[in-house]
Structure 1
Amino acid sequence: MLLKKPLYTFLFIVIAAIAIPAAGLLLTENKTTPDVQEPTVDVVRSDTQKTESFPLEEYVAGVVAAEMPASFEKEALKAQAVAARTFILTQTLKGLDVTDTVDDQVFKDEEDQKEMWGEDFETNKTKIEAAARETEGEVLVYNGKPITAAFFSSGNGQTENAEEYWQSAEPYLVSVASPWDTAAPNFEQEVVLTKQEVEEKLGVSLPESGSVGAITKKTTGGRIGAITIDGKSFTGRSIRETLGLPSADFQMTVSDGDVVVTTKGYGHGIGMSQYGANGMAKEGKKYGDITAHYYPGAVIGDVQTFLKR
C-alpha cells in the first residue's frame, strides 16, 4: 500500500428514507442487525476504469486477499483486515475515490481471487472471509479519530517514524522493534543495475569499483536518511524511488560495470509490518496485540461511530 493519492467515494442513506449524498460509501441494511447499515465501497477498477460497488466487508476481504498471503496466520490476517478497513474509512471521510491499486489499497474481487489462487480458491477465500467477519466493523482509532493505518511487507528489524519518510508526524506511526522481519523471504535482497543507468538516473559519476556514497544521516528505524554521492546529497527515500529499490536501507557497490545494491526489508517501513504481524501471530499474539504494537496508542473502535456523524 502506498499513501499517494487515494481515491474513494461514499454515499450515506438515512434510514428515514432520505438519501443524503456524500462521497463513496452507500449504507445498506445489515440483515443480521436491521438497525445497523452496512456501507458499500465504490472502487474504480484499473482494468476497465469503471466504478463498481462492493459491501464494505467484502471489500475488506478483497484487500486482505490482495495485500497479504493467504498462508499467513489467521490473527495476522485479522490485523490486516482491521488496518484495511481503517484505511478505507479515513479516505472516505476525506471524500475521495478509491482505486484497486497500490495508489490506495490493492483489491481483488472473487474472479481475481479465482485466477490468483486456482485450486486453493475455496480454502483461501474461506480463511480470509473469516478474518474479515471476525473483525467486522472494527477500525483503529487514536484520540477519537480513525488513524492512517499504513502497512508494508517487511522491515529491517525496526519500523520507521512517519516524519522521517513522509515528513508528517503521527503519534501512532513511530519506530518500534520488528525482529520478526528477519524471517521474511524478502528481508535481504540484491538488485543489480548498470553503472550507466544509475549515473543517468541520479545525475552523478560513480567510481569504477568499490562502495558508493557516504551516509550522512540514519533514520530512527535504521534506514538511510541522507547520503552524498559524487558531492550530491540525496535522501534514502529519493534513491529508493528513483532506482526502484525494495527499501531505503541499502548499500551500493560498483563491480565490473554494474552497481550491486543490497537491501533490507521491503516497503516504506511505516506502520504495520505484514511479516512482523505474521511472526507475532506465530508466537500466539492476537490481532489486537499486533495492532497495538505497530500502532502505539491506537485502540479498536466501531466504523459505525464515524458513519453516523
Structure 2
Amino acid sequence: MVNENPDNLSLVVKDKIYLSDESGIIAEVKSGNVLNFSLSDENIKLVIAGRSFVSNIFFIESATDNKILQVDEKKYRGKLKVFNLNNGIKIVNELKIEDYVKGVMTREMPVGKGSDNYNALKAFSICIRTYAFNRMAQKRDSFDLFPDTRDQVYGGVISETDYTNQIVDETAGQILSFDDKPAQIFYHSTCGGYTEDVQNVFNSGPIPYLISISDGNDPYCKISPRYEWSEKYPEALFINRLFAAGLLDNSDYSIKNISVESRFESGRVNELKINLINTVGQMKNISLFSNNIRSVIKTADGNSILRSTMFNISLDSKKNVLIGGKGFGHGVGMCQWGAIGQSKQGISYKEILNHYYPGTKIILIND
C-alpha cells in the first residue's frame, strides 16, 4: 500500500506507461500526462487528456526498457494497482519480494561508509524479507504491507543504492525460521546493553528466540548516537502529559514523588509510580507500565514517544522531572546498532542473526 483513502487523486506520468484494467491494456500514456482518478459509485473514473475510463481497478506499469515506473517524484519497480475499497482510492505497489526488500534497506537501517556495516546489512536484509514473508501469509485485504512504521518503511527505487541492492541479491530468498516455520521478526535501533523479552513489550506469550540477551560486556551498540540520552520536564509539563493521556481529571496537581517500582531483568522499567496531590489536598497515585510509559510521557519537546524504558527518573529541587536513559526503541529482537557494532568487528551475518534470534536458522523460499 503506497496511498490510501483519498476520494480523488492526480498522478503525473514521468515516463511512458501502459494503462490496463482487468481486460488488458487500454492505453499507452506518454510522459507529461496527468492521470486524474476520482470515485464513481463503486468504481473509479480516470481522466487523461480529455479521455475518460471507468473501471473497478486500474494497473499502471512501465513501458520503458528498464521497467522502472515513474509517477510524480517517485519511482517503483513492478506495477501500481489503483482501486476503490471502502469508498476510498487505494494504490498498491505490486512487486517481487526481493524488490520490496531493496526499497526498505536504507529507510530502516544506517548504511554507513565503506564495508563496515556489510554483515549487519546482510543480516538485516534477511530480517526485512522474513517480516514481509510473514505479512504476505496473513492475506490482508487487497494488500500485504503498509509503507510506513505500521510495517516497514518502504521508499521504492529512490531509496535504493547499488551497494544495498548487491547485499539483497546476495541473500536472495533467505529468511529466518524456527521449528520449520518463518520466525516472527522484531528489530529496533539501540538496545542500550540488553534486548527485551517479547512478552514484556507486546501482547504476546513467550517466544523462544525473542528473549532478553546481553549485547556484550562492552555493548556492541555503544557506538549508537542514541545509546545514552536525557530528558528534562518542568513539573507542569509532566502533569499535562498525564492529563492528556486521560490519567487525571484536570491538571491542578503537583508531584509528591516519582519512582520506579519494578524493572524487568534487562533493566527496563516495568512499573513507574507517580504520587500526586491536588490543590485541595487530595492524593492521586498513578502507575504506568512497560511500553505504555513511552507513549504517555513522550520526549520533553513532545515530538515523539520516549526513546526507551531503560531509564532512571528523579525530581530535582525545582520539581523538574529528570530522566536519564539508554537505548532507542522497544528492545525486542535485533539491535540494529548492536549488529553494526558486531559487523565492524568482523562478525558474520549468520552469527549476528544467531545472537539476536537464538535457535533460529536460515532457510530458502521462492519469490
Quote the offset at 1:74 in angstroms.
0.8
Residues 43 and 258 of structure 1, relative CA distance in 2, 3 Å threshold:
farther
Asked if 1 retains the 8 angstrom alpha-carbon contact of 2:121 and 2:164, the reply is yes
Asked if 1 retains the 8 angstrom alpha-carbon contact of 2:255 and 2:274, the reply is no
Q: What stretches of structure 2 of length at least 5 have no aligned partner?
A: 1-77, 83-88, 276-284, 298-304
What is the 5 A alignment of 1:1-309?
50-71=91-112, 73-96=117-140, 97-111=144-158, 113=159, 125-168=161-204, 169-178=206-215, 179-202=219-242, 203=247, 205-207=253-255, 213-230=258-275, 231-243=285-297, 244-255=305-316, 256=318, 258-304=320-366
- Highest Rg: 1 or 2? 2
Aligned length in residues: 250
CA RMSD, aligned part only? 2.4
For 2:233 and 2:96, locate their aligned partners in 1 and report how far apart those are by CA, in whole Å.
44
Residues 78 and 214 of structure 1, relative CA distance in 2, 3 Å threshold:
same
Asked if 2 retains the 8 angstrom alpha-carbon contact of 1:214 and 1:227, the reply is yes
What letter corresponds to residue 82 of structure 1 in structure 2?
I
For 1:141 and 1:277, locate their aligned partners in 2 and report how far apart those are by CA, in whole Å.
19
SS in 2 for 1:233: strand
SS in 2 for 1:98: coil
What letter corresponds to residue 296 of structure 1 in structure 2?
P
1:135-158 C-alpha deviation (Å, 9 max, x unpaired)? 000000000110111000001201
For 2:81 and 2:350, locate their aligned partners in 1 and report how far apart those are by CA, in whole Å.
28
Higher-helix-fraction structure: 1
For 2:240 and 2:334, locate their aligned partners in 1 and report how far apart those are by CA, in whole Å.
34
For 1:126 and 1:43, locate their aligned partners in 2 and report how far apart those are by CA, in whole Å.
27
Quote the offset at 1:206 in angstroms.
4.5
Moved more, 291-300 or 229-238: 229-238
SS in 2 for 1:99: coil
SS in 1 for 2:161: helix
For 1:41 and 1:174, locate their aligned partners in 2 and report how far apart those are by CA, in whole Å.
39
Asked if 1 retains the 8 angstrom alpha-carbon contact of 2:97 and 2:132, the reply is no
SS in 1 for 2:291: helix
Quote the offset at 1:265 in angstroms.
0.1
Asked if 1 retains the 8 angstrom alpha-carbon contact of 2:262 and 2:270, the reply is yes
Q: Which runs of 4+ in 1 moved over 6 A?
A: 40-44
Higher-strand-fraction structure: 2
SS in 2 for 1:64: helix
For 1:140 and 1:289, locate their aligned partners in 2 and report how far apart those are by CA, in whole Å.
13
What letter corresponds to residue 89 of structure 1 in structure 2?
F
For 1:43 and 1:158, locate their aligned partners in 2 and report how far apart those are by CA, in whole Å.
43
Quote the offset at 1:247 in angstroms.
0.1
Asked if 1 retains the 8 angstrom alpha-carbon contact of 2:229 and 2:324, the reply is yes
Quote the offset at 1:107 in angstroms.
1.0
What letter corresponds to residue 170 of structure 1 in structure 2?
I
The answer to which structure, 1 or 2, has the higher relative contact order (CA under 8 A, 6+ apart) is 1
For 2:169 and 2:273, locate their aligned partners in 1 and report how far apart those are by CA, in whole Å.
49
1:65-96 C-alpha deviation (Å, 9 max, x unpaired)? 10001116111001110000000111111112
For 2:227 and 2:207, locate their aligned partners in 1 and report how far apart those are by CA, in whole Å.
26
Quote the offset at 1:49 in angstroms.
5.2
For 2:212 and 2:79, locate their aligned partners in 1 and report how far apart those are by CA, in whole Å.
32
For 2:153 and 2:90, locate their aligned partners in 1 and report how far apart those are by CA, in whole Å.
15
